[in-house]
Structure 1
Amino acid sequence: MAAQLLLLLGIAAAPRCGRPMFGTPLTARLGMALMATGALLTVWGGRTLGRQLTALPEPVAHAELIETGIYRHVRHPIYGGLLLLALGWSVRRGSGLALGLTAGLLALLQAKAQYEERALRARFPQYAGYARRVRRFFPGLY
C-alpha cells in the first residue's frame, strides 16, 4: 500500500519536463477522457464491492465472489481505474516522469493483482473459471 501511495503521489506531483511532450488541445482532451474513464471504473468497482472493499490485496473475512456489475467485465476495475487516472494525468500534464511512474504503478498493481488472485483462487473454487472468462484490468483488452 505504501509503494502504491508513493507512486500515486509522485505521479500527481511530477513536473512537466521543460516543454510539455503533449501540449495540444487534443492530448489535453485525451488526458481528461482517460481520467474520467478511470474515475468511473474506480467508483463503479468500489460501489459494487460495497462492504467488501478493502485497501489490502486479501479478501475480507465475509467476502463473496462478485461477478456482477463491472466485475462481469473486469476482475480488478479499481486497479484499472487507477492506471487510467494516472495515465490521463500524465498525458494531460505532458510529463515524461509521470509516464515513467505510471509504468511503475502498472508493474506494482500487476504484482498486487497476482497476489490477490492467489488468495481468491484458494478461497473460491469457481475463481479459476471466472479468471479465464474475464479480463484483469480493462474490459476487452487486458
Structure 2
Amino acid sequence: MKTGIPGRLLVATQFALIGLILVNWQPAYSLSWPGMVALAAGAALGIWTLFFNRIGNFNIRPEPKPGSHLITNGPYRTVRHPMYTAVLLLCAAPALSVGTLYQAACWLLLLAVLWKKSSVEEDLLRQQYPDYAAYAATAGRFLPRMNLSRKK
C-alpha cells in the first residue's frame, strides 16, 4: 500500500528532531524535577514496552514486519503506541529542563511526526490484522483512553 509519506522519511525526520532536541543538552547539569520525572517515566515505559514487544516483532518503520503478531497486553492494553509515548517523554526531559522555545518547537514537531507515523502504521495494521479496529476502539493512541461517562 502506498502511504503518501515513505516510512523511511518519517523515521529519518523523527531521528533528526530527536537530535535537534538533544543538541547542547548536558543532562548531568541541567535536569529539572519535571525533566527527571519525564526521563524516568519514558525510560520505564520504553523498557516495559520492549518486554512485551520483543526485538524481531516490531519495526522502527511504520510498516509491520512480515510474520509479526498484534500485541494487546502489557502497555499495549491501554495505549496503541507506547514506544512513541516513551520517546516523547524522553525527549520532553531536555525540553522541560532547558526550556528553550527551540526545543519546545522541535518537541511539538516530533509529536506531529509521530502522530503521522502512527496514522500510517495504523492503516497498515488494519489491513494486516482483522481485530485491529476493535482493539483501537479500546486503547488510546499515545495516552490511555479516558472514559468520562458514568455508569449507573
CA–CA distance in structure 2, aligned partners of residues 111 and 12 of structure 1: 22
Is 1:47 matched up with 2:51?
yes
Matching residue of 2:105:
100
8 Å CA contact retained: 2:63, 2:121: yes
TM-score by length of 1: 0.86
Equivalent of 1:8, from 12, 15, 18?
Answer: 18
Runs of 4+ in structure 1 displaced over 2 angstroms?
none
Among 109, 112, 116, the alignment partner of 2:114 is 109
After superposition, where does 1:79-94 map in structure 2 within 5 Å? 79-94=84-99
Tell me the CA shift for residue 111 of structure 1. 0.2
Deviation for aligned residue 1:14: 5.5
What residue number does 1:21 align with? none
User: Letter of the aligned partner of 2:134 in structure 1?
Assistant: G
Q: Which residue of 2 aligns with 1:127?
A: 132
Q: How many residues align?
A: 131
Q: Cα distance, 1:46 vs. partner? A: 2.2
* Amino acid in structure 1 at the alignment position of 2:20: G
Residue in 1 aligned with 2:39? 35
Equivalent pairs: percent with the same residue?
A: 34
Q: d(CA) in 2 for partners of 1:99 and 1:59? A: 30
Q: Which runs of 5+ in 1 are unaligned?
A: 16-24
| Per-residue Cα deviation, 1:107-141 (whole angstroms, up to 9, x for no partner) | 00000000000010001111001101001112346
Aligned to 1:18: none
Partner Cα separation in structure 1 for residue 94 and residue 145 of structure 2: 23
**In structure 1, how many angstroms separate the alpha carbons of the residues matched to 2:139 and 2:57?**
20
Please state whether the residue corresponding to 2:83 is helix, strand or coil: helix
